[in-house]
Structure 1
Amino acid sequence: MKMKLYTYITLFSLLAITTSACKDDDKKDVTPEPVKITFTDKKWKTETWDLVKPLDLDEDGDKETDLTQLLIECDLDGFIVFQKDGKLIANTGNKRCNAAEEQESYSADWTYDERAKIIKMKSVPGGLEKDDWEVLELTETTLKVRFNLLPEDGASGAIKSVMILKKM
Structure 2
Amino acid sequence: MTSHHTKLIAENRKARFNYFIEEEFEAGVVLKGTEVKSLRMGKVNIKDSYAKIQNGEVFIYQLHIGEYPFAHYGNHEPLRPRKLLMHKAEIKRLYGKINEKGFTLVPLKMYFKDGKVKIVIALARGKQLFDKRESIRRKDMEREQARMHRVGRYTHTGINAR
**TM-score, normalised relative to structure 2:** 0.27
More helix by share: 2
Larger Rg: 1
Q: Which has the higher contact order (CA 8 A, sep 6+)?
A: 2
Structure-1-length-normalised TM-score: 0.26
